[in-house]
Structure 1
Amino acid sequence: MKITRTEKWTLRPVADDRQALRDTITLYQRYVRALSSVCMAHWPNIGVLTGNDVIMMVEGLIHPTTNRPSVRYAYFQRVFYKFPSYLRRSAIMDAVGQVRSFLSRYDQWQTATDRRHKHERPPTFGVSNSFPSLYKGQCIKYADDLSFAEIKVYKNNDWVWLTVPIKKTGKRAADVSQKRASPLLVVRISKSRSLFRSNKQSP
């Protein structure tokens, strides 16, 4: 049985770098919202799939390749140019999860026999803000001593590697017996805080 523990690692970016982190998350969330509309429109085909099959299906609709130069939704390539592939796949799973959640709640509303009142309104489809998952080696690289991390961010209209000091790690950070999973990049604008939500799995 696997147990996943979540830790918060506080980052210490300078002001300019903090803005780049915010811009990265904002762009990611825009991407998820746009993807959710595509997923909703094609849900009869997407909803029955899982894992990599979901990613392949959605990418076939939005992401042109050499063997697939034309896609149905060219908007993504035009507006989100050079969007990193690993962030794209994270965004696809986020969008699919949010559509699935809404449709499940809507189905419960339709079939409910114990509503609080007969005029109870149905749930509305709105995409909540999500945060990008940073895949090791592709979106994040850690220093050996965990004093800093390099993060793939959107800055000056390009995707670049940004070195960000790690102010504080969790108590299990150095435990090599546990697998370090892909962290979520979270920026709390109201508190001007940047951090990782780092997940670790016990063997």
Structure 2
Amino acid sequence: MRVEVWSDIMCPWCYIGKRRLERALAGFEHAAEVEVEWRSFQLDPGHPKGERQPVHEALAKKTGRSLAQVRGMTDHVKALAAEEGLAYDFDRAVVVNSFDAHRLTHLAKKYGLGAETHERFMRGNLVEGEVLDDQDTLVRLAAETGVPEEEARRVLAGDDHAGDVRADIAQAHAYGATGVPFFVLDRAYGVSGAQPVTTFAAALRTAYEHAATAAR
């Protein structure tokens, strides 16, 4: 059974959703038969390349709310993340255009490291305050998961895997997804958002039983 996850490395809900899916899989008796594939999405594709904004300032500008109101929002998300063992630091997090980072996650897939690199980038952004449009930073973080540095630099210097990122985003839109995280199980069942573990567990069971029935 395959679970495809559309996610943006800038998205705090995506990292929470990842942990909740992992918890559901940990309790799923057929987890060894499940393949999870991470796909690219951009929540703000129009964010100018090269522009770096602190998270609170970016959210205040986007939502029209005050910095105090925005901090209330991020404090709530931070508390939910903590329940999943994630120590978000929104005071250090920086919003950038994530397109190049997503291109590197597709390079990482060639080495069987797509999930590890996606995770490393999310942790870098949301927990460690790494700036994920800086090429040296991207190369360093990808290398930590095993992606060859020279290959990563070559990709970032050109436009390799740009088509792969766009294809992922187009597929998400074709499914009707307008935000992430967005989970598709066996191209038959969709789960939108960082749902509770019980929701993921139920979806896994349903998809597995459907596949088993269809195979008879």
TM-score, with length taken from structure 1: 0.25
Greater fraction strand: 1
TM-score, with length taken from structure 2: 0.24
Greater fraction helix: 2
Larger relative contact order (Cα-Cα within 8 Å, sequence gap ≥ 6) = 1
